[in-house]
Amino acid sequence: MASGTSLIAVSYGVVRYGYGLQLPQLAGEFSLSPRTAGAIASGSFVAYCAAALAAQRLIAWRGARAVLWLAAALAASGALLVAVSSSTPMLALGVLVAGSSAGAASPALVVAVGCTVREPLVARAQAVVNAGTGVGVAIAGAATLAAPQAWRLVWACGAAVALLAAATVDRHAYWPTNRRRTGAGEPHGSAGPGRTLLRPALAAAVAGTGSAAVWTFGRDLITDTGGLPERTTAALWCLLGTAAVLGAFSGDAVRLLGIRRAWALTATLTATGTAMLALAPGQVLTAAIAGAVFGGAYTALSGVLIAWASVLRPHAAGQATATLFIALTAGQAVGAVATGVVAERAGAPAAFWAGAALILTAATILPRRVNPGATSAGSHRRRGLDVIPAEQGTVRGRRLT
C-alpha cells in the first residue's frame, strides 16, 4: 500500500497535476497564454485517456504487472523531458507523456491491491492508495513553496521516485496468474460495459469537465486574479494536497452511506470548493477553505468511482476503473480548453462558476436504485450488483445502493 500510494503520488500529484501547480512559473518562463496553457493541459488529459485505453488491452494481453511498468516508464520519461525542456513544444510533449502515466497506474494498482489485500480491507486499501494524489500535490506544493524556481528539480526527482515506487510495488504485490483475476475477463453472460458503465461514465465525464478549472488554473486564479503572493498561493496548494489525503476515507464513506449518497456528497463538496474560489480568489481564508474542501472532496470522488466500478464489474475491476477514469479525464480535457477560452473572454471567475455548475450537475447523476423485488439476487450479482433490503443496507460488509 505504501509503495502503491507513492506511485499514485508521483503519477497524479507531481507529474500530472504538478503542471497546474507550477503554471505561474511555467507561464512566465515560456510565455504561455491562458489558451495555450489550457491546450497543453487538455493534451495531457487526452494522453491520459490514450494510456488508460492501452492499459485496458495490455492487462488482458500481458497482465497488470506490465501495465505497472508502462506507467513508471511514462512518468519517468515525461518528467525528465519537462525537467530539461528549453521550448514550449518540448515542455508540452513532456507534460503530455508524464500526464499519461496516471492512466496506466490506476488500473494496474487496482488489480495489485485487489489481489494482495485480504477481502474485508480491499475497499479501504483502494481508497488509501488512490489518496496518494493528495500526498503528491502536498509534496510538490511544499517544494514550490521552498524553492519556486526549482521546478525542474521537482520533475527530475519525480522521475526517479516513479521508477523506485514501481520496483517496490512489483516486488511486494501478489500478481494474478489467471485471466479472470487480472480483471481481463468477466463471467459468462455478464452485461456489456456499454449498459452497466454508462451512468457512472457520464457522471465522471461531467464532473471531470468542471474540475479542470481548479486543477489547471486554480493557482493561476488566486495569483493573477486574486493578487495573492506566489509563496502564499504555493502554501494554499500544499493545503489542498494535504486535505486531498482525506480521500483515503472514501471507502468508509461508501460503506456507511452507500454509493448514491457518497457520490452526491463528494461531487457537491467538490463544486462548493470550486465556487468558493470563484467567489473570493483574493481572500486567503476563503481560498484556504475552498482548496481544502476541493482537495478532500475530489480525491474522495475518484475513490467513489473506483468503488462504483468494482461493484458493477467485480471480475474486471481494473478495466472498469480505467473506463471511468477515462471518462473523468476526457471531461477534464474538454474542461481545460473550455476554461481557458472562457477565462480569456469573460474572466477567470466566470470560468470557475461554470465549472462549479457542471460538477453540481454531476452530483445529480446517481447510481440506479436496486429493487429487491424486481429480479432475483443472483441475477443482480451476476451484473456486479448486490440486492439489499432498505432496512439493512449491508451485504458482505459493504453498503450499496
Decide if 310 is inside a domain: yes
Tell me the three cell numbers of residue 4: 502503491
**What pLDDT is stored for residue 247 in this prediction?**
76
pLDDT number for residue 37:
84
How many helices (H) and strands (E) are present in the chain, helices listed first?
Answer: 17, 0
Residue 239 has pLDDT above 60, yes or no: yes
Residue 228 structural domain: 2-174+192-368
Of 380 and 285, the structure prediction assigns the larger pLDDT to 285
**Farthest CA pair distance, the chain:** 64
Please check the confidence at residue 378 and state whether its pLDDT lies above 70.
no
Residues 321 and 310: beta-carbon distance below 8 Å:
yes
The number of folded domains in the chain is 1
Domain containing residue 226: CATH number: 1.20.1250.20
- Residues 127, 136: Cα–Cα separation, whole Å: 15
Instruction: Please give the pLDDT value at position 252.
Output: 80
Q: Please choose, from the candidates 266, 321, 334, the residue with its C-alpha nearest in 3D space to the C-alpha of residue 45.
A: 334
Measured in whole angstroms, how far is the alpha carbon of residue 238 from the centre of its chain?
A: 17
Which tens digit of pLDDT belongs to each residue from 31-71? 888 788 878 888 887 888 889 888 888 888 888 899 999 99
In a domain, 128, yes or no: yes
Write the pLDDT tens digit of every residue in 120-161: 788 788 888 988 888 888 888 888 778 878 889 989 999 999
Give domain status of residue 386, yes or no: no
Long-range contacts of 287-292 (CB under 8 A, 24+ apart): 287/222, 287/226, 287/228, 287/236, 288/236, 288/239, 291/218, 291/236, 291/237, 291/239, 291/240, 291/243, 292/239, 292/240, 292/242, 292/243
DSSP assignment of 60-88 equals HHT-HHHHHHHHHHHHHHHHHHHHT--SH
Entry pTM = 0.74
41 domain residue, yes or no: yes
Cell numbers for 17, please give them: 497535476
Closest CA to 232 of 276, 294, 285: 285
Return the pLDDT at 188. 35
Asked whether residue 225 is domain-assigned, the answer is: yes
- Local confidence band at 192 (pLDDT 50, 70, 90 cut-offs): very low
pLDDT at 271: 96
Q: Determine the 3-state secondary structure of 395 from DSSP.
A: strand
Beta strand residue intervals within 275-399, DSSP E: none
**pLDDT of the residue at 393:** 33
In a domain, 179, yes or no: no
Mean pLDDT within 244-258:
82
pLDDT of residue 375: 34
Over range 383-387, report the average pLDDT.
34
What pLDDT score does 379 carry? 37
Mean pLDDT of the chain, nearest integer: 82
Cα(133)–Cα(7) distance, integer angstroms: 9
Q: Which residue's entry shows cell 506511485?
A: 7
Is 53 within the bounds of a domain?
A: yes
| Cβ count near 179 (within 10 Å) | 14
Is residue 215 one of the residues assigned to a domain? yes
The pLDDT, as a whole number, for residue 78 is 93
Q: What cell was used for 180?
A: 479472470
